[in-house]
Amino acid sequence: MALDISQAANAASSDTLVFAAKDAKDLKGCDVIVITAGLPRKHGMSRDDLLLTNAKIMKIVVKEIEEQAPNAIIVVVSNPLDVMVYTALKVSNFPKNQIVGMAGILDSARMSHFILEKLGYGAGQIDASVMGGHGDDMVPLPNFSTVAGVPLDAVLSKEDIKDIVEKTKNGGAQIVKYLETGSAYYAPAHSTSLMVEAILYDKKEVYPCAVLLEGEYGYENIVSGVPIMLGSSGVEKIIELKLTAEQKKLFKKSVSSVKELVDTLNKNNFFE
């Protein structure tokens, strides 16, 4: 894979050097590390099914990073996403700003796709917003979504928006079903690259990402997807939106789903 990417970089006249890391020592001095390690999700398999196996893998990987690159910003992509971010924080001594999960950018991109599919126009001008957990309990925010600056409810009916929300929630599962032996990779990869660029170039971009909440939105010691400012220090600010009563209800359900998985890890004495 590294050889293939390196050849592609040279075809594009890029000065980026690409090589394969053979062991943990090759992580030494890294500024940003993306973790995708874990059992892949297959058709018929929920993200919950991946929990214990991927938590064990996450623990090994994060411990190696902590030893070799303690100042690195870690972007977690492994599923179940929110719990893997929580696991990475709890099995290490990394501060919460250094570990962030990629989910909301991907979910927002999926929502933008379904908005475009429904409208038939506005390509490149759709700004969709999503928060909450990555998966069935994500919380799409149509009232914070626009098409060329125009509120979504001004161009689509309530029924259309409801349909878009349901399609967004099942966006990942739909691709898994089509592929049968794997899951999405183009959209997740691009979403991750946006986060990496924001960190490396200190862009101070606002993206929905999975982070540890410590009082924000009324929740403590749990990970969920919320809008954050992403820069060279990682998570530099958590932005609190004014949610409707219904959105608060959905967000509570989303957080509860993550807590259930964390409870499963605790029952298995994973953090001891």
Catalytic residue list: 134
Amino acid identity of residue 77, one-letter, is V
Q: Are 104 and 225 in contact (CB under 8 A)?
A: yes
Amino acid identity of residue 180, one-letter, is E
β-bridge pairing 130-132 and 138-140: antiparallel
Output phi, psi for 17, to 5 deg.
-95, 130
In degrees, rounded to 5, the angle at the alpha carbon of residue 122 between the alpha carbons of residues 153 and 151 is 20
Q: Which residues pair with 101 in a beta bridge?
A: 76, 210
Helix, strand, coil shares, percent, the chain, to 5: 50, 20, 35
CA distance 108 to 106: 5
Output phi, psi for 73, to 5 deg.
-90, 130
Residue 77: closest CA among 97, 95, 57? 57
How far, CA to CA in Å, does 114 sit from each of 95, 106, 122, 164, 215? 36, 13, 12, 6, 33
Amino acid identity of residue 182, one-letter, is G
